[in-house]
Chain A
Amino acid sequence: MVSFHPDSRFLTDFTTGSLPLSEALCVSAHLYYCGKCRARVQQLTDVGSHLFNQLAPETAESGDDFETLMQRIEQNDAGEPVSDDLATSSRVSVSDPLVGRMPSVLGKLFQQGLDSLQWVQLGRSLRIAPVDLGDERRETALYDIRAGGRMPEHEHRGEEITVLLKGSFSDRDGKYSRGDFVVRNAGEAHQPTATQDTDCVCLISLERPVKARALFYRLLEPLVQYRLSRFSN
């Protein structure tokens, strides 16, 4: 049961195509698990479709040339309409069963299996694999928290989005399970704990601090801060 959803800004920007890739992946992963939000995105698409339909039509400067278009089509293929080339390619064969159950956009990103990612082990119960999307503003990563594992309490300098792909975790604000879309704003501290029975895998999109640093240290930053604060007490 999905109980935490993206707000109107996320869903609207996702629908209009203006949401940057890192956040769009998170929304897309949530949609895979949430029929309610899929229906909302469908309604938003209908809004776009109505606005589209009301645009003042623009005729091509040289006039609309249907024959030229048909020639291009016939050159490109034998004129054979394909049912849906995307549907046929949307499932990749993957050996990793968890990846196989992921939304297909993630399935393709991780088709080599999760073990082939560059994991950084942080303590006993947490490992992090950065995902390079070429986005300057945000970090994207997979977090794998061992069953029962507790992350150190940490605070973010920027907005953090978490989408649960497997298992569940809880913090003082609630319990989250697969598909939940959890947003923490800059300055909010939390200490997530994975439930006892199963490992927890999350997709994370984290707003980058203004200060640019090496990726490894940026990922470590919340934890380093935690350790420092613990030692200084």
Chain B
Amino acid sequence: MQETGIEAGADPWAQCLEQIAEHRDRAAFRKVFEHFAPLIRAFLLKTPGGNWTQAEEITQEVMIKVWRKSGSFNRGKASATTWIYTIARNTRIDFIRRRDRKERRVAIEDMWHEAEASEEPLVDLQQKRAEARIRAALAELPDEQAQVLFKAFMEGKSHNEVAEELGLPLGTVKSRIRLALGKLQVMIDR
């Protein structure tokens, strides 16, 4: 397991991002690139209909955004890994919308950033505890729950798409995801 950058103490990647923002530090950016570009590429290759050429192009797009937006990274709000993952996810959503050309284009970030900009930010310590808990619990998930979670988050499939692909009723997929989230103590239904 590599250094994840999300331990409760130091977040080395956060420091890199801050150096990029403050000093346009190329060495720091190279470190971030070498660690994250292969992860971003792996993530993009999981996209339904994805291929190497696309994955390569979008990986570059994501890394350019990391460089340009580093000033908006705030370690009190999210770990560096979460921040970079969020950019990769949003870029992928935007790519899929562009590719399929069905829906009207809206700025994906508007759907998210607004939420964070409002009151009630998560307490830093709380956030860190949640991250440690999630990491530990993920390793313990039964295969069938880990599978649906992976398809939803990494392959970007909806509950309906996962149900269709696995030949399961929608309710089964929903309950597997809820059970998994419950174990991660990500409480989402009361």
Contacts and interface: CB of A to CB of B under 8 A. Distances in A.
Contacts of B127: 42, 46
Contact of B181 (A8, A16, A109): A8
A44 to B, nearest CB: 6
Interface in A99-143: 103-105, 108-109, 132-136
Contacts of A64: 33-34, 37-38
A120 to B, nearest CB: 20
Contact of A57 (B38, B46, B79, B154): B38
Contacts of B118: 32, 35, 38
A49 interface: yes
Given A55-B42, A69-B33, A47 B115 contact: no
A105 B41 CA distance: 29
Interface residues of A, number: 72
Contacts, number: 234
Contacts of B168: none
Given A40-B187, A49-B85, A55-B42, A105 B130 contact: no
A10 to B, nearest CB: 9
Interface residues on B, range: 35 or more
A32 B114 CA distance: 7
Nearest to B73: A84
Contacts of B38: 57-60, 64
Contacts of B72: 83-84, 86-87
A77 interface: yes
A3 to B, nearest CB: 11
Given A16-B158, A44-B188, 20 more contacts: A8-B188, A16-B156, A17-B89, A18-B157, A18-B158, A21-B106, A28-B110, A31-B114, A43-B130, A47-B134, A47-B138, A48-B89, A49-B85, A51-B149, A52-B153, A55-B46, A69-B33, A81-B68, A108-B106, A134-B104
16 contacts: A9-B159, A16-B89, A28-B111, A38-B116, A40-B188, A45-B78, A47-B134, A49-B81, A52-B85, A60-B37, A60-B59, A69-B33, A77-B68, A81-B21, A81-B70, A133-B103
Interface of A: 7-9, 11-13, 15-21, 24-25, 28, 31-32, 35, 38-61, 64, 66, 69-70, 72-73, 76-77, 79-87, 89-90, 103-105, 108-109, 132-136
Interface of B: 4, 6, 20-21, 24, 26, 29-30, 33-34, 37-39, 41-43, 45-46, 52, 55-56, 59-60, 63-64, 67-72, 78-79, 81-82, 85-86, 88-90, 92-93, 96-97, 102-104, 106-107, 109-120, 122, 127, 130-131, 134-135, 138, 149-150, 152-154, 156-159, 161, 174, 177-178, 181, 184, 186-189
